[in-house]
């Protein structure tokens, strides 16, 4: 784990999430400890680094109104995901298998980090461009495969509803009460 | 860990026309189309930049950006709006945002409004015999079309642009509508629910236009009334049947022969039979006249006259039977059996007074003897049928209303199950 303080400026946004927010996932309690502000050609989103009470990390992706909780899953990354050159050309709708389960490619894009804060399970090197493949599985399953310079990482998890996370200590939003 | 200061909306000026623009979903939205000139601006990065410049004239929308309303119990703010069109006309889609919920849609198709949400778990949508099954409902295919974006203002979570095309398929299970939109390789499913005009009026304080047609997924009032009345209708029919069964079971059906009667040529020659003893109180009785006459008629008048009090209960029936042979072969009409139901007879001893008129083909009186008998205390069915009819009047009316409504709903559909396509 690395403490980054604040790297570059995390951009202004209107998110109710912030460092120090607590929440629940699958009946397990977590804390938001860090944030990566990611950006691609046509947009940006937050990856909140969360720490569960058993010291395990997870990533709570907050993108375009959706929340996704994923976990670094080495077995999925080693389980025969396509080579980076192939992945870069993957069309949406292509079927992949991660950890023996079927997934469908929804999005392929070059991603970099525009800012970070707090404590992070891992960091992007400044200016590093990462090939990022988003996939949907059955039900609410979701995965992202990241092709770094020297490694491949797979983050596997699922969509979550804001209300189901039972967040506490949310950021005040001008014009909006604390409850949806 | 220290909390950050309160998050506020952000104001920018359009990079093309300079008009002020409020960003209400910063971080969640990626672009804004200037409400004044339509220029698309990338707002996903700290340095805003023009995606594409437009010089459109501002288009009026019924609901303004920044308007807030409570829909289905949750507050939402309108942050974007676009007009789309297809072969069947144009409609408006408002993008709604609540930072503690996410995005939703408000769709206005002429005078009809819907509240919509994209479906994340599309594996829950399964094909079935009708069309699709989703969330415990069966959806029927209603329309196939091509939607094109005509104009767009405000914030969106993807780069919407005028001219964007999608292939659409709509499936309905009123008040629900499942919308499938395909753009290139991307497939988006949304679930719409029809909003009553009163709901949209309460939410956004506007007066919706009066409805002059039926929307694809507009709920049918008659169907809703029927389903809410269904249990009472069945209960009433069940109760009527139960009462009738009790009546049938307790009826005695006691056979009482009265005697053999020979008709007279004209009224005025009464024959008296009996007395017969009727012991059930306030009973329904059936008097039957059975004979074997041929090509003649007998009109019979009866009176049950109570011994002691002289109360008289009068009724009549007739028998007539004709037969013969003509160019079509043998024929016959009429019946050798006549019967009358005699209601509300008190218990007691009765004389049966019979009078008659009769005739045959030659005008002579019928001489054929008639066997008269009485079945005491039979079960009445008439009241039961009347009760059933009364219970069913309103449901039948509602079923008719539903038929008319559904026929109109489907009249615009290429998948109309009523086959009443308008003549071209």
CATH number of B366's domain:
2.60.120
B80 and B160 both lie in a single domain: yes
| C-alpha dist (Å) from residue A115 to A1, A45, B45, B333 | 17, 11, 11, 101
- Residue among B8, B99, B105, B124 with most chain A CBs within 10 A, to mutate: B99
Domain range holding B59?
10-219
- What's the length of chain B? 424
How far does the CA of residue A72 sit from the closest CA of chain B (Å)?
22
Contact yes or no for B103 and A180 at CB 8 A: no
B213 and B262 both lie in a single domain: no
Tokens 């109109």 found at: B408
Q: Is B163 left (phi over 0), alpha (psi -120 to 50) or beta?
A: left
What share of chain A has pLDDT > 70, as a percent?
93
**pLDDT beneath 70, residues of chain B:** 1-5, 420-424
B260 and B202 both lie in a single domain: no
Instruction: Give residue A178's pLDDT.
Output: 62
Q: Which of B25, B45, B98 sits opposite A180 (nearest CB)?
A: B98
Instruction: Give residue A128's pLDDT.
Output: 85
pTM equals 0.83
Asked if B66 has any chain A CB less than 8 Å from its own CB, the reply is no
Sheet holding B337-345, edge to edge: B254-261, B370-376, B283-290, B337-345
Asked if B28 has any chain A CB less than 8 Å from its own CB, the reply is yes
| CA distance linking residue B360 with residue B297, whole number of Å | 6
Contact yes or no for B44 and A159 at CB 8 A: no
| DSSP 3-state of B371 | strand
What share of chain A has pLDDT > 90, as a percent?
64
Asked if B52 has any chain A CB less than 8 Å from its own CB, the reply is no
- The H-or-E segment that residue B177 falls in is strand B176-183
| CA distance linking residue B274 with residue B307, whole number of Å | 10
Say if B361 falls within a structural domain: yes
Q: Show the CA angle centred on residue A167, arms to residues A161 and A169, nearest 5°.
A: 150
| CA distance linking residue B161 with residue B151, whole number of Å | 8
* Surface-to-core class of residue A91, CB atoms within 10 Å of its CB (0-12 exposed, 13-18 middle, 19+ buried): exposed
pLDDT band at A5 (very low <50, low <70, confident <90, very high): low
Radius of gyration of chain A (CA): 16
Tokens 């009819």 found at: B389
Average pLDDT over residues A32-47: 93
pLDDT at residue A1 tops 80: no
Tokens of B110: 């002429």
Compute the mean pLDDT over every residue in chain A, rounded to the nearest whole number. Answer: 90
Name A20's Cβ contacts closer than 8 Å, sequence gap at least 6.
A31, A32, A169, B1, B2, B3
Instruction: Give residue B193's pLDDT.
Output: 98
Side-chain-side CA neighbours of residue B154 (13 Å): 23
- Residue among A9, A10, A14, A40 with most chain B CBs within 10 A, to mutate: A14
Average pLDDT over residues A151-179: 91
Q: In chain B, how many domains are there?
A: 2
B302 and B188 both lie in a single domain: no
B106 and B169 both lie in a single domain: yes
Neighbours of B268 (CB within 10 A): 9
* Surface-to-core class of residue B315, CB atoms within 10 Å of its CB (0-12 exposed, 13-18 middle, 19+ buried): middle
How far does the CA of residue A18 sit from the closest CA of chain B (Å)?
7
Instruction: Please answer whether residues A105 and A96 qualify as being in contact, where contact means their C-beta atoms are separated by less than 8 angstroms.
Output: yes
Instruction: Give residue B263's pLDDT.
Output: 85
Say if B132 falls within a structural domain: yes
Q: Is B308 left (phi over 0), alpha (psi -120 to 50) or beta?
A: left
Instruction: Please answer whether residues A40 and A111 qualify as being in contact, where contact means their C-beta atoms are separated by less than 8 angstroms.
Output: yes
Given B195, B219, B243, the domain boundary residue is B219
Domain boundaries, chain A: 2-165
Instruction: Give residue B424's pLDDT.
Output: 41
Distance of CA A117 to the CA centre of its chain: 15
How far does the CA of residue B67 sit from the closest CA of chain A (Å)?
12
| ipTM of predicted assembly, 2 dp | 0.91
Tokens of B292: 């074997």
Between B262 and A127, the more confident residue is B262
Asked if B41 has any chain A CB less than 8 Å from its own CB, the reply is no
Tokens 């659409």 found at: B168
Query: How many residue contacts between A and B have a Cβ separation below 8 Å?
Result: 124
Say if B42 falls within a structural domain: yes
| CA distance linking residue B202 with residue B196, whole number of Å | 10
| DSSP 3-state of A65 | coil
Q: Which of A118, A174, A180 sits opposite B7 (nearest CB)?
A: A174
| Spatial CA neighbour of A97 closest among A57, A143, A162 | A143
Average pLDDT over residues A5-23: 84
Question: B382-410 and B221-250 helices cross at what angle (nearest 10)?
Answer: 160
Q: What pLDDT, in 10s, does the model give residues A102-120?
A: 999 999 999 998 889 999 9
B207 and B266 both lie in a single domain: no
| C-alpha dist (Å) from residue A5 to A2, A110, B109 | 9, 25, 50
Tokens of B268: 């005025």
- The H-or-E segment that residue A141 falls in is strand A141-147
Instruction: Please answer whether residues B377 and B251 qualify as being in contact, where contact means their C-beta atoms are separated by less than 8 angstroms.
Output: yes
Instruction: Give residue B7's pLDDT.
Output: 85
B346 and B276 both lie in a single domain: yes
């Amino acid at each position: 784990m690395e403490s980054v303080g604040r790297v570059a400026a995390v951009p202004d946004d209107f998110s109710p999430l912030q460092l120090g927010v607590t929440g629940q996932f699958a009946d397990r309690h977590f804390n938001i400890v860090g944030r990566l502000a990611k950006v691609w050609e046509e947009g940006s989103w937050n990856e909140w680094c969360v720490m569960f009470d058993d010291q395990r990390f997870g990533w709570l992706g907050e993108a375009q109104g959706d929340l996704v909780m994923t976990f670094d899953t080495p077995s999925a990354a080693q389980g025969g995901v396509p080579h980076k050159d192939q992945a870069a050309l993957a069309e949406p709708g292509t079927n992949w298998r991660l950890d023996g389960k079927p997934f469908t490619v929804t999005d392929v894009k070059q991603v970099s980090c525009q800012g970070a804060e707090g404590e992070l399970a891992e960091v992007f090197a400044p200016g590093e461009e990462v090939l990022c493949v988003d996939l949907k599985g059955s039900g609410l399953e979701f995965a992202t495969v990241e092709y770094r310079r020297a490694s491949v990482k797979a983050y596997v998890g699922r969509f979550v509803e804001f209300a189901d996370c039972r967040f506490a200590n949310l950021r005040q939003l001008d014009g909006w009460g604390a409850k949806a | 860990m220290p909390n950050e200061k309160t998050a506020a909306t952000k104001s920018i000026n359009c990079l093309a026309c300079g008009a002020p623009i409020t960003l209400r979903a910063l971080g969640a939205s990626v672009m804004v189309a200037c409400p004044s000139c339509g220029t698309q601006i990338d707002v996903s990065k700290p340095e805003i930049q023009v995606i594409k410049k437009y010089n459109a004239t501002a288009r009026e929308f019924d609901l303004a950006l920044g308007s807030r309303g409570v829909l289905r119990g949750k507050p939402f703010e309108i942050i974007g709006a676009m007009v789309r069109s297809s072969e069947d006309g144009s409609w408006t889609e408002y993008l709604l945002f609540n930072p503690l919920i996410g995005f939703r849609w408000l769709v206005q198709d002429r005078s009809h409004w819907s509240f919509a949400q994209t479906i994340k778990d599309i594996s829950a949508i399964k094909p079935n015999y009708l069309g699709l099954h989703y969330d415990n409902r069966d959806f029927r295919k209603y329309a196939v079309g091509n939607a094109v974006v005509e104009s767009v203002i405000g914030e969106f979570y993807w780069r919407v642009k005028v001219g964007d095309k999608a292939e659409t398929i709509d499936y309905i299970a009123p008040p629900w509508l499942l919308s499938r939109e395909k753009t290139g390789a991307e497939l988006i499913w949304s679930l719409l629910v029809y909003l009553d005009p009163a709901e949209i009026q309460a939410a956004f304080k506007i007066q919706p236009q009066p409805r002059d047609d039926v929307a694809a997924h507009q709920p049918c009032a008659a169907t809703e009334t029927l389903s809410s009345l269904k249990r009472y209708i069945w209960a009433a029919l069940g109760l009527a049947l139960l009462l009738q069964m009790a009546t049938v079971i307790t009826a005695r059906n006691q056979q009482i022969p009265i005697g053999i009667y020979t008709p007279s040529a004209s009224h005025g020659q009464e024959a008296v039979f009996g007395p017969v003893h009727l012991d059930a109180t306030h009973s329904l009785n059936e008097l039957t006249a059975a004979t074997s006459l041929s090509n003649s008629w007998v009109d019979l008048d009866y009176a049950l006259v109570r011994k002691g009090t002289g109360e008289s209960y009068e009724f009549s029936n007739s028998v007539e039977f004709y037969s013969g042979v003509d160019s079509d072969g043998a024929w016959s009409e009429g019946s050798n059996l006549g019967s009358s139901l005699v209601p509300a007879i008190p218990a007691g001893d009765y004389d049966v007074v019979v009078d008659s008129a009769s005739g045959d083909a030659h005008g002579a009186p019928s001489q054929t003897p008639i066997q008269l008998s009485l079945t005491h205390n039979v079960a009445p069915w008439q009241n039961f049928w009347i009760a059933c009819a009364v219970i069913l009047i309103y449901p039948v009316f509602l079923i008719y209303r539903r038929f008319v409504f559904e026929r109109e709903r489907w009249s615009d559909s290429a998948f109309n199950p009523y086959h009443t396509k308008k003549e071209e």
